[in-house]
Structure formats: C-alpha cells, structure tokens
Structure 1
Amino acid sequence: MKYNYILSLLFLALIACGNSDNDPQPDNVTLTCSPEKVEAGAAEGEYTLNVTCNSGEWTAFASDDCSFWVTAKVLDSSLTKGQVIVSVKANKETTNRNGSVVVKSGTKRIMIPVTQEAPMSVSQREIYSNSSGENITLSVVATGDWSVKSNDSWIKAEKTDSKTVTVKTEPNDNKTSRNGTLDIVSGIEKITISVTQESAEDRDINTPEGYRLVWHDEFNEGTTLGSDWTHEVQKPGWVNNELQEYVNGSAGGKRVTELVDGKLSINCFKGSDDKIYSGRVYAKVNEGWLYGYFEARIMLPKGKGTWPAFWMMPVNNNYSTNPWPGCGEIDIMEEVGADPNIVSSSIHCAAYNHTINTQKTASRNIGTAESEYHVYACEWTPDYLKFFVDGTELMTFRNEGTGKNVWPFTYNFYPILNLAWGGDWGGYKGVDESALPITMKVDYVRVFQKK
C-alpha cells in the first residue's frame, strides 16, 4: 500500500509540471503572423493581422504601454488560421507613438510592433486679414506629401516649399466682413483653415439733416494718432477697480494705440512684466463741443474681461467743485465681453446714476458687435440726448427742465475711446487672460453740429 501511494504522488507531480506555463512549447507548434508590423497613419483606422497556429489555440492583445490607443479583436482563435483586427485611435499628440500587439499560443509569443505617425499640423487654423489684403505665411508639419487648396476666389494659397504655404487675401471693398476657407490635405488627413477678412473703411460721410461736419478723424494717415488726441496715463485701479494700466502710446515695445489699415487699433495686452496695458484717448480734450451729433464706427474685441467704450466727459471740469456724477457723463456705447454683443447707452447725472441705481440706460443685443463694424452715435441738443446703433434709435433722455441735478449737459464735452480690462463691470464675471491680446478697432470718429 505504501509503495502504491508513493507512485500516485509522483504521477500527480508529473502532471502538475506538464501543465506549467514555464514548460517549453513542443517543437511541433508553429505560430506565425502576417504582416510582421503595423504602420498606422495619424487618423483612426483598422489593420488586419493574419495568424496561423497549428495547435489551434491562440489569442492576441495590445501591450500595456499602448492599450489606451490600440485594441486587438481576435477572430477564429480556435482554428489554425484566424485574424486579429487591430484598431488604432486617432493620434492627437505632436509626435509619433509606438506600441505592440502580442500574439500568443501557450508560452509562445510574437510581438507585432505598432507605430503611428504624428498628425499633420499647421501653425494657424484661423486667419484674420485686414481689409486692404495681406500676405500670411503658415508653417505645415506633415510626414507625407501635402497640398493646399483655396475654396474662395479672393483667397490665394500657394505651397512655397515642403514646410510653408503663403496665403494672400485680395482687398475687400465691401463694408461688411467676409469669410472663406482653405484646405491642407495629406493623404486622408485634411485641415480646414478659416479666413476672416474685415470690412473696408467707410469713407462715405453721411451728414445728418440740418448738420454740418465740424471735425473728424478717419485714421488713414500715418501710423500713430495725431495732435488732436491725448493719451490718459494711469495705474491699475484708478477708476472702477479696473486692472489695466493706461500708458502714453506704448509699453514694453508694443503700441496700445496704432493706425492700421485705415483704422485706429486700441490694443490691450499682457506685458513681459505680467502687467496688463491698454489705451484710453481723448479727442480735443481742452476744447470739445457743446451739442452736436457724435458718431464712431467700431468693432469690439472678444473675451471675458473686456470693457470697451465710446463716451464723453466735460472739458476742463474742476472735480473738486463739480464732482462726478453731478458734472454729467454721456456714454454713447459700452459693452462687456462677459455679455458679448450686448451694447448699451447711458447717461449719468446727480439724479440719475449707477451708484444709486437710477441711471438712465438702454441695451440691445446686436449679434455681431464683436465681428462686424457698427455705427454708434449720439445726438445732443439743449432738449434731449438721443442714442443710435446703425441709425436706429436705442434711447432718448429728455431735458426735464428741473435744473442741473437732472440736466448738467450745458457745457462742452469731449469724446473718449478706451478699452478697459476687468473692473466693477468688465470683470463682474471674472476675467479670462487667455483672451489677451485683444483689440478694439475704430474706423472713424465724426462730429457734426447744426448749421
């Protein structure tokens, strides 16, 4: 009995050893796979591996280092011939990536390398062109040959070399912006570039009936503002808890005001010192005008934190004896980027102002304030202030005849253009510095008075 017991133990031990994964594969087991590697493009795709295994039992899977972008689906693994469908996700990284698929039968393994190309990339996917037309150079990175095609006749695109494309926009003579596209194609990859060209200058001066033009600036001469304009210089927090610093023309080698393409650009940007700089300018600050029709054609910037304005304040006012709001304030146009395309007009005086929630104001969502130029205007007479957007009345404030507390608008005021950042209103929903740099563009400012 004892002898038989020992033989039984030895037999069980032999069975256990024979089932071990570490046991060498029998010489007659053959495992092959074709192709021997997968070379994938950057786009999502599927690739087929043909597997032969004479044992009739095999499987396949993606290695751990690539399982987040490679999957392996096994077909007919119980037969001597089957397939593996290798699915590769689109590569959104900037470089090639590598992994492998493991084909396995018992302890026998075959490693199938999987390489995937980096996607094609372009230095810009959005182009913004001025109205006079310009040349823009784009850099292209692609593993294979590529081509470029314009989808609009006013956009010309030419492949300069294997890494560069030159885009040329023709002049836009329309008073509205226009949009187009161009495609860069490499194999099955395609990148569509959007092209936006701003509208032409509006050089037609439409004088309101009964008025005559007394002053204007079309911003189409030179590169900087002329002597009729004065820059404000103030540190952050000067008014309304605004975050920008107003400077006299430039900061850190960059202009806060400049004339480009026949328009005034008021630029707000973050300097290398991490400060936010912007521009606030006054027209005829020591003279101004008493009554008249004041208008400007403006395209507003985008971004949470912006606060552009076109408004007026009294000339040579002594704020110690005639403080705000009793001195009066005329806000022809304001907008905050947190509420895009909603423009407003307001007046402030002792009786009606925002500090006591009595200000007289009106607003309108015009839809394209941040993508198109619009004309904002105010007609100021001894009897009323009327505000307009593109010639349509937005608000009227009448002289009630009850004195200065309601109607301080009896002396000269001067126009102001500025682009604030943050502050009590501009930052009431916070600011998004990723929007910077931003630009408020002004086609013209015109002042008319009655004949």
Structure 2
Amino acid sequence: MKKLNIILLFLLLFISCSNEDAGNLATDDVTLECSPEKVETSGAGGVYTLDVTCSDSEWTALASDDCSSWIAVKVAGSLSSKGTATVTVSANTSKDSRNGSVIIKSGAKRVVIPVTQGAPMSVSQREIYSNSRGENFTLSVVTTGDWSVTFNDSWIKVEKKDSKTVSVTTEPNESKTSRKGTLDIVSGAEKITVSVAQESAEDREINTPEGYRLVWHDEFNEGATLGIGWTHEVQKPGWVNNELQEYVNGSVSGKRVTELVDGKLNINCFKASDGKIYSGRVYANVNTGWLYGYFEARIMLPKGKGTWPAFWMMPVGNNYSTNPWPGCGEIDIMEEVGVDANIVSSSIHCAAYNHTINTQKTASRNIGTAESEFHVYACEWTPDYLKFFVDGTELMTFKNEGSGKNVWPFTYAFYPILNLAWGGDWGGYKGVDESALPITMKVDYVRVFQKK
C-alpha cells in the first residue's frame, strides 16, 4: 500500500509539471511586435504612433514608471490582433536630454520601445538691446537638429555663421524714437523668438551706468507739451503736507504749469489773476513704473523762500486704504526747500523709518549751485539697497537687511514724480515770500536704466 501511494504522488507531480510547462509554452508562443522599434524626438516633443501586432487576444501599452511624468500612452485596438499605441512626449523643459521607454505587453510577454528626447533648443540671448549707433551681436544656438533664422525688420541684419552661431547687426537709428523688432530661430517644431530693441538717436549722448541698459527716457526735445507717458496730478490746495498751491493740468490765466522750452521741461509755479497759486506735479509711466533700476534726472532748482521742488517715487497702483503711507514706501531722490538754498537731500520712508516719528533715513549736502546750475540727481535701486547720488557722488545708502516689510517695502514697481510745491509743512516751515513768484523748476531729462 505504501508503494502505491508513492507511485500516485509521483504521477501527480508529473502532471503538475507538465501543466506548468504547457503554460510556459503558451506564453512563449505569443507573437508581440511593434513598429517602429524606437522613438526619437526633439526637445519640443510630439505625438507618435506605434503599430502593434499580437497573436494573443489581448495586449496593452504603458510608459515605464521612470518617465510617466513626461510620456503618455493611449491604446486603441487592444482586444484585436492589430492596434496602435499613441505616444505623447511632452516638451523638455530641462537643460539635458532624457531617456524613457514604452512597454508593450501581452500576458508575460514584453516588448520595450526606447524613447529618446533631445535637450530643448536654446539661444544665448532672447533679448537684444542696441544703442542707436548700431551694434553687432553673436548668438549661440544649441539644438540637436538643423536650424534656420528669419527676420522681418529691414534695420536688423542676420547671418548664420555656422551650425552653432548667428550674427545679428542693427543699423544706425537716425530717428528720435526707439524701435523694436524680432527674429525667429527655428529647428523642427521648436521656435525661439529673440526680441531686438534699439534706442533713439538721442541716446548717443547718454552715459549708461555699467551693467545697465536704457529702458525709458524723455529728453524733452519734441513739441511744446509733455507727451504720452506723463500724467498730471490735479488737486486743490492742502491736499498733502498743507501745501498752498493748486495742482492743475493745462493753463491758468494764459500760463501753463508745465511746458517744454529749449529742450527742457519747465514746471512753473505762479500766482494767477484769481489770486490763487498754481503749479505742476507730473508722473512718468504711472500705471507701470519700474521694479529696480537706476533713475536719473538733470535739474536746475528755483529760488525763493517757500519753494519745495522734488524728484521722487511712489508705488504703482497702491491701495492706500489697505497699504497706507508710510508702510507702502516712498523714495525721495532729491528734495530742496528754498529757505535752505542749495541744500539738497535724499530720503526713504517706510513704516519703521519716516518723518512723522522722526526716524526717517535722510542725507543732505550743500552743493552751492543747485539753484543756478543743472545737477544730476540719481538713485540706484536693487533688491539689496537704495543708493542716492548727486553728480555721480554717493550721498546715501539704505540697505535691505532682510527684516521685513516694515523696513523694506520696496519690492514692487514705483513710478517717478517731478513736482514743484509751494509752502507746506517743510517748504513753508519758515514762511513763504510771494515776491519770489513766479518760479520755475527746469528739467533737462529723465532717464531710467535697468540691469542687463
């Protein structure tokens, strides 16, 4: 009996092994083929179709785990002997090429389709800023395929030097307005547009601070009144700082509060026939302003007890009900009061440092001829500091020490302001002398530079 049991056990083992072999044989008999056998794509990515043939009744396809974030697979006809796998490769946003795979499977059968994607096309510069004299620039192009360059502006000349570089030349700009153009670099489905900006002829006399480029300026050489880009404030006396003047836009008693004369902006303050005092306050690009930069103006100040001219900046679009002064910040590049003739000052105001609590950060200097000669007043504003200059000599530095908004609210765009006040808390702190009227603040130019 014991011998019989052993024989039966042997037979059961034999049958079990035979069935397992039969299953393996069935798997090995499955034919699974895919065409093409690999996918190669540029950095732009794309959509590719794999034709799948399977002798079994069912198959599927998927991206391997290591590339599922940038490869997507959609299967059609997976219950038929012939079908397709649509492979979508996302654009490569990294700096390097990358590899992945698509797995076609039926039961235990696997076919691996390698997917290779090249690095995205890159160009060494996407913005070109040219002076008005014309310049030559060399751009480096990195791409895995052939590329071409096109342009539509006659003042831009482009020459492909070799497989890696393109030469861009701007012709001299004789116009008093700046101009903009573009050029397109194309490789397969990839395209990079490079913007080209060239300043007006007037910038030939402009000394640009090292590391900066001119982004906006007004030399006041065209027309008789301020043009697009300037906004006049209109306010009654006492609007701020208990000042005595009324700010208007236009003429009163036949005299304008702002006018362009001999290539200068004149901001006039005068007593009109109605006995009121009128003056001008104007904003440059009030709706956009600039975040960081080098801001510069060349100005001759008026004389007289009661004058209060200023070149300063305030935040764009600020909601003073939710972000009131001084917490919103204020940048005073230049101020002077006529009773303290020729003493110019620079200041900043914020929640922690402002004149209402006698903590404002201010520096002043008697330059002797502020009311008889033109001087250049400037501010360099970076994420790390505000520096103020008179004729290129540093007057004050206020550093961002990283202690928060109460000390450094200067993290959004500001716009420049030019105004001539009469009297007020500071301008009239020793009274006013109306015999000084009319008075004029003369501005030769206003320029804004930003980092390259």
TM-score by length of 2: 0.55
Large movers: runs of 4+ above 6 Å: none
Aligned residue for 2:282? Answer: 281
The one-letter code sitting in structure 1 at the alignment partner of 2:304 is G
Instruction: Write the mapping of 1:265-344 to structure 2, written as runs, cut at 5 A.
Output: 265-344=266-345
Equivalent AA in structure 2 for residue 328 of structure 1: G
Whole-angstrom distance in 2 between the partners of 1:247 and 1:357: 32
What's the offset of the Cα at 1:344? 0.1
Aligned equivalents of 2:397, 2:244: Cα separation in 1: 32
Q: Which amino acid aligns with 2:390?
A: V
Which amino acid in 2 is paired with 1:371?
S
Structure 2 partner of 1:7: none
> Is 1:411 the equivalent of 2:416?
no
1:365 is aligned to 2:366: yes
SS in 2 for 1:355: helix
Q: How many residues align?
A: 251
1:40-55 to 2 correspondences below 5 Å:
none
Aligned 8 A contact 1:232 1:248 in 2: yes
Q: 1:108-144 CA deviation, whole Å, 9 max, x = no partner? A: xxxxxxxxxxxxxxxxxxxxxxxxxxxxxxxxxxxxx
| Matched ranges for 1:171-320 at <5 A | 204-320=205-321
Q: Distance in 2 between matches of 1:319 and 1:413?
A: 14
User: 1:330 is paired with a residue of what secondary structure?
Assistant: strand
Which runs of no fewer than 5 residues in structure 1 stay unpaired? 1-200
Gaps of at least 5 residues in structure 2 are 1-201
Query: What amino acid sits opposite 1:402 in the alignment?
Result: S
Output the CA distance in 2 between the equivalents of 1:405 and 1:203. 41
CA distance in structure 1 between the aligned counterparts of 2:430 and 2:276, rounded to whole angstroms: 20
| Distance in 2 separating the partners of 1:260 and 1:213 | 24
CA distance in 1: counterparts of 2:364 and 2:402, whole angstroms: 25
Question: Would you say the 8 A contact 1:351–1:405 is kept in 2?
Answer: yes
- The amino acid of 1:324's aligned partner reads W
Q: How far did residue 251 of structure 1 move?
A: 1.7
Which AA in structure 1 matches 2:241? N
Deviation at 1:227, TM superposition (A): 1.2
Q: In the TM superposition, what is the alpha-carbon distance from 1:249 to its structure 2 partner?
A: 2.4
Output the CA distance in 1 between the equivalents of 2:300 and 2:407: 32
CA drift of 1:253 comes to 1.8
* Counterpart residue type for residue 346 of structure 2: S
SS of the counterpart of 2:338? coil
The equivalent of 1:387 in structure 2 is 388
Letter in 2 for 1:358: T
Q: Deviations over 1:53-111 (max 9, x none)?
A: xxxxxxxxxxxxxxxxxxxxxxxxxxxxxxxxxxxxxxxxxxxxxxxxxxxxxxxxxxx
CA distance in 1, matches of 2:401, 2:329: 15
- Residues 158-199 of structure 1, C-alpha deviations (whole Å, 9 max, x = no match): xxxxxxxxxxxxxxxxxxxxxxxxxxxxxxxxxxxxxxxxxx
* Aligned CA distance change for structure 1 residues 392 and 276 (closer, same or farther; 3 Å): same
Q: CA offset at residue 400 of structure 1?
A: 1.1
Deviation at 1:203, TM superposition (A): 7.0
What is the alpha-carbon root mean square deviation over aligned residues? 1.1
Distance of 2:422 and 2:337 partners within structure 1:
9
1:430 aligns with 2:431: yes
Are the counterparts in 2 of residues 351 and 358 from structure 1 also a CA contact under 8 Å? yes
Superposed displacement of residue 204, structure 1:
2.0
The amino acid that maps onto 1:346 is: S
Q: 1:338 aligns to what SS in structure 2?
A: helix
Identity over aligned residues, as a percent? 93
